[in-house]
Structure formats: structure tokens, C-alpha cells
Structure 1
Amino acid sequence: MSPRRSYDQYCSAARALDAVGDRWTLLIVRELLGGPRRYTDLHADLPGVSTDVLASRLKDMERDGLTTRRRLPPPGAAYVYELTSRGRDLLPVLQALGDWGAAELGERRATDAVRAHWFALPLLRGLEGEGLVEVRLDEGDFHVWLGAEDGAVYGDGPAREEPDVRLSLDTGTCEAVSRGDLTLLDAVREGRVGVVGEGTLAKGLREGSFSPSGV
């Protein structure tokens, strides 16, 4: 393992970039916010990264205390990578970067890869409170946990338990919300987002009775 490169500056921003400033590192964090992942799963959901670079970044992140690696019990018997509490503390960093980068999205390019769960963090900007939200998109389904202080922030596929609310929206609406062109509440008001559920969160979305941060 190569020694960690440093800016050698007595500045907290520089120290942070010593740990997470390398290409792909924060995108690996984005993937691991969805819970433990196998190396092959990470590679599949990070199109464009080479196997050597991914392996190197994972080693660096483990050394820097951002991730751990553990072996699943049989019959899985595979290694998975997961965030430490310090790694999970990067969630607001990624959210802030997403807010800042929304203006750079524009229309999706023909060369742009996409995964349904990449919309999880942008959609969290339009939600508040606590609960399990299932989201159905053209690209696939995912679910997010609101208000969770540890553990996964989102997961691929339908929720394994009954969600507090189900949201369904098309690709264009989801992209507009991700770019900041449309708030989630406005999309619900305009009938562009289907809301199923009878709990507080579902009623709040339908009635526009909460004011989520960032919206």
C-alpha cells in the first residue's frame, strides 16, 4: 500500500482532501451509504473505474478509517465493505456537493450512466421526518430511511418491510427534482409524483404541510 499523499497544509479542508480528495473516493462513499457492498457490486455501480483503482481506493479508505471489510458467514462467504461511523459522517458533505452540483447536471447526455439509487440523495432534500420511503422510477426501485442516525441511508430495490410511503415518478420528473428545477412538493402538487400511504409523512407530502430543508 502506497503512503497517503498529503497537501502538507495545516488546514482542516486540506486534511479532509488528504483523505477523500482522490478521484472515486467520494463516489465509493455514495455507494456504501446504501449499506455493505461486495467488491463486484461496487465495481458494477461505478462504471468507468478500473479494478486496480477501485482496489487501491478501498485499501486507502480502510487505512484512513472510513471503511471496514468483513467476511459474510456461509453460505455467502464473500467479503463486503462498509462505512465506519466516520465514513458515514461524510453524508452531509455529499449532500452539500450534490446541492452545489445540481446546476451542473443539465440534460442527461447520451454517454451518462445512471442507476436508480443515484437519485436517493437528491430526493432526500425534499423529505423530512422519520420513516421508510419506497421510490419507484423507470430505472428501477430503491428505498430511503429518513432520520436514521446510523446504518444505511438507502437501499436498492423495493423495501423489505411495509414502507411509510411509496412514491412513483417518471425519469423526467426525477431529473428535474435532482437539478433543482422542481421541488418534490411542487411535483406532488402538479400530479407528477404518485403518493401512496396514510401515515404522517404521506399526508404531509400530499398536503404540503412540511417545509423540508433545501426545498
Structure 2
Amino acid sequence: MPPRRSYDQYCSAARALDAVGDRWTLLIVRELLAGPRRYTDLHADLPGVSTDVLASRLKDMERDGLTTRRRLPPPGAAYVYELTPHGRALLPVLLALGAWGQGELAERGPTDAVRAHWFALPLLRLLEGEGLVEVRLEEGDFHLHVGAVDGPVYGHGPAPRDPDARLVMDAGTCLAVVRGELDLTDAVRAGRAEVGGDGAIAKSLREDRASAVPAVREG
């Protein structure tokens, strides 16, 4: 494998960019924050990346200790890629990058691809506490492991068990929330997002809604 390109600068930011500054690398990390993925799954959820570039980036990331590759036991018998602890430590970087870039989400262009789970990290940044949250959008379902320290922080499809909270909203509402134009609790309060579940996160969102309703005076 050819040596890694380097800025050759004794600076922590430059060293970090040596490892993750190439095009597609951080987006691969975004996908692998959902847990182990097959090459074909990664390629499907990274529209625009060529097979050669994806294979090259995965090799570079494995060499740099960001990912590992392993073979699933039968009947799967397929290879999957997953983040190492060093790779998972990039979560705060992606959350901060998403917060910085939320203002760049102007109107969706005619060639812009979208996947439901791409809203996972922005919503994860906005939710507080710990628990399993299922999110239902028109484009599909995904779930969040809010407060997770190890392992996947989100997943594709419905929650694997009864979630602590379930959020249902349309794509326009979700986009307004992640753009910072609409607070999630305000979306719930206005009826633009529905909340289900009995966990602390669900109760908190419902209490915020209830607190905004004026008390009815008797007499």
C-alpha cells in the first residue's frame, strides 16, 4: 500500500486531516456510526462515490486504525467494515461539523440525494438524556441510541425493541428542526411532530408541550 499523503506539518489539525481529510472519508465514518456495514451497503448509501474510490478509502481507513474488516459467521459469510474506538471517537467531530454546516442546507437541489438516516446525527445532537428513539419520516425509519458511549449511535429501520420515545414527523418539519429554524419541542408543541413512548425523553418532550398550555381557571 502506498504511503499516506501528509501535510508534513507538526500540528494536530494537520495530522487529523492527514487521516480524515480526503474526500468521502468522514462520510464513510457517518455511515459506519450505524454499526458494521457491508461494502455494497456503503456504496448504496454513498451516492456519487466510485467503487475504486470507496475501496481505496476503506483500505486507507483500515491502515490508519479507523476501521476494521471482518467476516460474518454463516449463514451471512460476508465481510463487513466497522469503526474502531479510534474511529468512533470522530462522532463529536461529525456532530460539530453538522452544526457548523446546518446553515448550508438551503433548498434541496434537483440532483441532491437524500437518505432518511442522514437526519440521524443532527437529531442526535438535539436530543438530551439516554434512551432508544425511533424516528419515522416519509423517506424511511431509523433509530437513535441517545447517550450511547460504545457501539452504534444510530441504526437503519425501526427500533429493535420498544423505543423509549417515538418521533413521527414529515420531512419538512425534520428539515426545519435540523436547520435550526424550529426547536424540536416547539414542533411537538405545535403538533408538527408526534411523540410516543414512556421513556424519559418522550416524557420530557410531552412535558415541554404541556407546560406551554395555559391552565384552565375554574369558576
TM-score after normalising by structure 2 = 0.94
- Per-residue CA distance 1:20-51 (angstroms, 9 max, x = gap): 00000000000000000000000000000000
* SS in structure 1 of the partner of residue 121 of structure 2: helix
User: Do 1:65 and 1:86's aligned partners in 2 also have CA atoms closer than 8 Å?
Assistant: yes
RMSD, aligned CA: 0.9
- Indicate the residue corresponding to 1:152 in structure 2: 152
Indicate the residue corresponding to 1:6 in structure 2.
6
Any residues of structure 2 matched to 1:1-215 within 5 Å, and which?
Answer: 1-208=1-208
Contact 2:129 2:200 in 1 (8 A): no
* Deviation for aligned residue 1:199: 2.4
Whole-Å separation in 2 of the counterparts to 1:113 and 1:186: 28
Cα distance in 2 between the residues matched to 1:159 and 1:4: 39
Given residue 163 of structure 2, which amino acid in structure 1 is its aligned partner?
P
- 8 Å Cα contact 1:143/1:159 also seen in 2: yes
How far residue 208 of structure 1 moved from its aligned partner, in angstroms, is 2.3
Inter-partner Cα distance in structure 2 for 1:2 and 1:118 = 32
Give the aligned residue type for 2:18.
D
Matched residue SS, 1:208 = helix
Q: What is the distance in 1 between the residues matched to 2:199 and 2:56?
A: 45
User: When the two structures are aligned, how many residues end up with a matched partner?
Assistant: 209
| Structure with larger Rg | 2
Gaps (5+ residues) in structure 2?
A: 210-219
Q: CA deviation at 1:125?
A: 2.1
- The answer to whether the 8 A contact 2:131-2:199 is kept is no
Residue segments in structure 1 that go unaligned for 5+ positions in a row: 210-215
After the TM superposition, which of the residue ranges 181-190 and 168-177 deviates more from structure 2?
181-190
SS at match of 1:7: coil
Q: Which runs of 4+ in 1 moved over 6 A?
A: none
TM-score, with length taken from structure 1: 0.95
Displacement after TM superposition at 1:78 (Å) = 0.3
AA paired with 1:78? A
- Map Cα deviations across residues 126-148 of structure 1 (whole Å, 9 max, x no partner): 21111100000000000000111
Higher relative contact order (CA 8 A, sep 6+): 1
